[in-house]
Structure 1
Amino acid sequence: MSNSIYLVLDMMNDLVHPDGPNGNGPYGEQARARNIVANTRAAIDKARAAGVLVGFVRVGFSPDYRECPPNSPIFSAARKNGIFKLGEWGTQTHPDLGQRNEDFDIVKHRVSPFYATTLDAILSAQNIGRIYCSGISTNAVVQAMVREGHDRDYEMHLLEDCSCGLTTEEHDIAMTSLRRFCVVTTSTDVEFN
């Protein structure tokens, strides 16, 4: 069995589905322009074929937003806009990605997939040494995943064409800095092992 996992980050309906609140906004536009849903599905299928575990990381809060930091510039609008509510359609993984029951499902309440989540326990229990990742947005959750994974001594691989930011410029700037911390590849070129 592989000692790798492919983590798909925040590819939720609230952020990337055309019917979600951000579907017609910058995230949705970037996701469509970069074809990240289809690219990510292709990468997931490749990972499964190679025997690599798959996990989905989602941001979400209880219906009363008890975990939501009220002074956070990035999360404070969630309550006002009624988004990122766990148990609702918006926090489900985009249906075209084909999430399965056996996939790992990690819920986070902050930007980092490691902070106050089950991720550490999963990686340890599965003897993971290599993390492939991608998602939305490149300059937030993806950047946090790569940098923290690197500092925890994981071999990090980032699928560039399965990630996007609010703008092309944000994505490109994030990618420039992330190349120092990971192997950058694409859904076409990645060799899962």
Structure 2
Amino acid sequence: MSNSIYLVLDMMNDLVHEEGVSSKGPYGEQVRSRKVVENTQAAIEKARAAGIPVGFVRVGFSPDYRECPPNSPIFNKARDNNIFKLGEWGTETHPKLGQTKDDIDIVKHRVSPFYATTLEAVLSAKGITRIYCSGISTNAVVQATVRDGHDRDFEMVVLEDCCCGLTTEEHDIAMKSLERFCKTTTSTTVEFE
């Protein structure tokens, strides 16, 4: 049994699908220009071939947004735009990523996938000590995952070309700030262990 996992972060239709609400904005542009979906798809295939389990983390709220923090600038936009509703197409993982019923599926209500979720318990039960991760956005969920994972004594590895921010500069700054907390690799150079 592997002591590693590949966590795919917030690669949901609302954020990364060509027909998602973000497709015409800056996220859509960055997802397409950086080939984030295609790179993530390739990384998932490599992880599966190496026997590494894959986990998907999605942000989502009940239809009445009861879990949505009222003072959060980022999550109030979800409420205002009527997105990130659990059970709807927008909160499903992009179909090209091939999520299966055997994959770990974590739903979160905040930026960090460790906050008020079962993620840490699942990783502990599976004997995971190394987390490979990527997703959108680099300066939100990826940073939060790396920092929280680091502080929980996981070895953290980020697949840089499977991430993006609203802009190239935002992504680059986020990656630079993570250098002290993780290793970095890409979908083409990663060696899943």
Q: TM-score range by the shorter chain?
A: over 0.9
Question: CA RMSD, aligned part only?
Answer: 0.5
Structure 2 CA distance, aligned partners of 1:3 and 1:65?
Answer: 36
Amino acid at match of 1:51: G
Amino acid at match of 1:97: L
Cross-structure match for 1:95: 95
User: After superposition, what is the alpha-carbon deviation per residue over 1:148-193, rounded to whole angstroms, capped at 9, x for unaligned?
Assistant: 1111110000000000000000000000011111010000000001
Gaps in structure 2 of 5+ consecutive residues:
none
Cross-structure match for 1:177: 177
Cross-structure match for 2:152: 152
Structure 2 CA distance, aligned partners of 1:50 and 1:179?
Answer: 26
Does 2:30 align with 1:58? no
Instruction: Using structure 1 for the length normalisation, give the TM-score.
Output: 0.99
Secondary structure of 2:7's partner? strand
Figure out how many residues of one structure are paired with residues of the other and give that number: 193
Structure 2 CA distance, aligned partners of 1:168 and 1:14?
Answer: 20
Instruction: Using structure 2 for the length normalisation, give the TM-score.
Output: 0.99
Cross-structure match for 1:23: 23
Structure 2 CA distance, aligned partners of 1:54 and 1:84?
Answer: 22
Moved over 3 A (4+): none
Amino acid at match of 2:91: T
Structure 2 CA distance, aligned partners of 1:131 and 1:21?
Answer: 29
Amino acid at match of 1:106: I
| Cα displacement (A) at 1:100 | 0.7
| Cα displacement (A) at 1:72 | 0.3
Q: 1:96-111 maps to which residues of 2 (within 5 A)?
A: 96-111=96-111
Secondary structure of 1:74's partner? helix
| Cα displacement (A) at 1:70 | 1.4
| Cα displacement (A) at 1:71 | 1.3
Structure 1 CA distance, aligned partners of 2:179 and 2:34?
Answer: 19
Does 2:125 align with 1:125? yes
Structure 2 CA distance, aligned partners of 1:61 and 1:163?
Answer: 23
Structure 1 CA distance, aligned partners of 2:74 and 2:147?
Answer: 19
User: After superposition, what is the alpha-carbon deviation per residue over 1:24-61, rounded to whole angstroms, capped at 9, x for unaligned?
Assistant: 11111100000010000000000001110100000000
Amino acid at match of 2:15: L
Cross-structure match for 1:143: 143
Cross-structure match for 1:14: 14
Q: Identity of counterpart residues, as a percentage? A: 78
Gaps in structure 1 of 5+ consecutive residues:
none
Secondary structure of 1:75's partner? helix
Structure 1 CA distance, aligned partners of 2:6 and 2:160?
Answer: 13
Amino acid at match of 1:44: I
Amino acid at match of 1:14: D
Does 2:49 align with 1:46? no
